[in-house]
Homo-oligomer: A and B are copies of this chain.
Amino acid sequence: MAAQAVTPQSVDFSKWYNEIVYRADLAAQSPVRGCIIIKPYGYELWDAIKNGLDRRFKATGHRNAYFPLFIPESYIKREAQHVEGFSPELAVVTIAGGKELEEPLIVRPTSETIIGEAFAQWIQSYRDLPLLINQWSNVVRWELRTRPFLRTAEFLWQEGHTAHATHDDAEAETLQMLDVYADMAINDAAIPVIKGRKSEQEKFAGALRSYTIEAMMGDKKALQSGTSHNLGQNFATAFDIKYLDVNNEQQICWTTSWGLSTRFVGAVVMAHGDDTGLRLPPRLAPIQVVMVPIYRDEDGERVVMEAVSRLQAALLDAGIRLHVDTRDERPGFKFNDWEMRGVPVRIEIGPKDVANNTVVLARRDMPGKAGKQFVSQDGIVEAVKTLLGDIHDNMLEQATQFRDANIHEVEGDYNRFREIVADSWAYTWFCGDAECEKKIQEDNQAVSRCFPLEQDAGEGPCIVCKGTAKERALFAKAY
């Protein structure tokens, strides 16, 4: 049963992505336009991302809550930029319980408005601040062009919503949550994201400032992987979120929101995958280790399976997410199958290994012989733990090298800039002006990704208008 080869990345990255998503069993198509079914393997990957974030949210004092799916139409309209940004994408319930509704209900595209209304009720005094809330939920944005995980009409996400007494408190929260996202991306997903501020044109509808973590995919396109917004007093004014300060005077709150979605599953696929399939970072992999018993006869089976049981118990005890593949298929089929699913470590064990008290460890991130080693069964747990750590480090290093090799700095030379963004990321002085951004987009189909937070101070000529720019920005084609 030879599987048909996947379209190589170099031939058609987009086609490769779609094939991998379905063949690695992350998702299935659904009969609803623009919506996918997240299959167990994909859901378990999302769950690992979710757990990593949830732990970090709680450690920074946030608590989960749940707000209604439906938002009265009048709420969405209350913040002017917000309604402008989201109107074209809304799904609207007009009939419920057999009757036409007096006021249509919007299926939430995001919850700033309904949560803003609640915060206005809950916050009375400075003692109630900061209010630090997170919601895990589904949201709906009726996009025209959809792709599994990257852009779907319905998706799963978390949305944090917080209220603060001052601008600086809100800004500190916004940046803290950006750090949380970057920490998860780098240390759980082995994706070396770059933290930065969005341009005025690219910021969230209704925000004062938006921050982003930007990741480079295998085709060198950028993927916005999580965003954190300082909403200033825009939503607080629209929804009357006020507090009495220590002097008993009424003040308007400062709010933030921040979100990361199942889009991040797509980031994991496209940042690490290769022509053989997924390569999952060990800390997120639903299955970290797959064990494949190999034998030809009943004697072999007896001997091998005895060792498998023993090793399985030891590895599970150590908290390693292990799967033993006892399907009635040839080893070669199994190897290919688990490589497609991106399992970081494969353990092969046959009668000869049992006789030698060894197993073969094969790592997904280093194909072929270079990635294979014999280890003693006695030290299996430690060997596997060390290897999982090494694989994480290596995947992060590979992705970082790839990223750095494909970011090119350019100053003043627009033609050179155009060459760069045709196939990689450009890092250049940028005045941030809407006209300049528009020109770049029209000329190159590339957009500003962010002003990276970590950059040397200075100034230089804007890549478009040559006016003085005080910051450098990254530009790239993007998902």
Show the binding face of A for B, using Cβ within 8 Å. Answer: 28, 30-32, 35-40, 43-44, 47, 63-72, 75, 87-98, 104-105, 107, 114, 117-118, 121-122, 133, 137-138, 140, 142-144, 153-154, 156
Contacts and interface: CB of A to CB of B under 8 A. Distances in A.
The 8 closest A-B pairs by CB, nearest first: A97-B142, A40-B63, A35-B68, A38-B66, A92-B95, A91-B96, A96-B142, A32-B68
Contacts of A68: 30, 32, 35-37, 154
Residue from A67, A93, A98, A138 whose CB has the most chain B CB atoms within 10 Å: A93
Contact of A40 (B38, B91, B133): B133
A92 B70 CA distance: 12
A70 B32 contact: yes
Given A89-B97, A93-B92, A31 B114 contact: yes
20 contacts: A28-B121, A30-B67, A31-B114, A32-B71, A32-B72, A32-B114, A35-B68, A37-B67, A37-B68, A37-B118, A38-B65, A39-B65, A87-B98, A88-B97, A90-B97, A91-B95, A92-B96, A93-B93, A107-B107, A138-B138
A144 to B, nearest CB: 7
Contacts of A75: 31
Contacts of A117: 31
A136 to B, nearest CB: 9
A98 B88 contact: yes
A118 B30 contact: yes
A470 to B, nearest CB: 39
A88 B95 CA distance: 11
Given A44-B64, A65-B40, A95-B94, A35 B138 contact: no
In the complex, the count of this chain's copies comes to: 2
Contact of A72 (B31, B88, B140): B31
A38 B92 CA distance: 23
A475 B58 CA distance: 45
Nearest to A117: B31
Given A88-B98, A122-B28, A65 B93 contact: no
Contacts of A40: 63-65, 133
Contacts of A64: 40, 43-44, 47
A147 to B, nearest CB: 16
Given A28-B122, A93-B107, A94-B95, 20 more contacts: A31-B72, A31-B117, A32-B105, A35-B70, A36-B68, A37-B66, A37-B67, A38-B66, A38-B67, A40-B63, A40-B133, A44-B63, A69-B140, A87-B98, A90-B98, A91-B95, A92-B95, A97-B143, A97-B144, A137-B138
Nearest to A63: B40
Contacts of A63: 40, 43-44
Residue from A43, A68, A105, A107 whose CB has the most chain B CB atoms within 10 Å: A68
Contacts of A156: 66
Contacts of A47: 64
Contacts of A38: 65-67
A28 B118 contact: yes
A90 B96 contact: yes
A69 B31 CA distance: 12
B96 A93 contact: no
A77 to B, nearest CB: 14
B70 A154 contact: yes
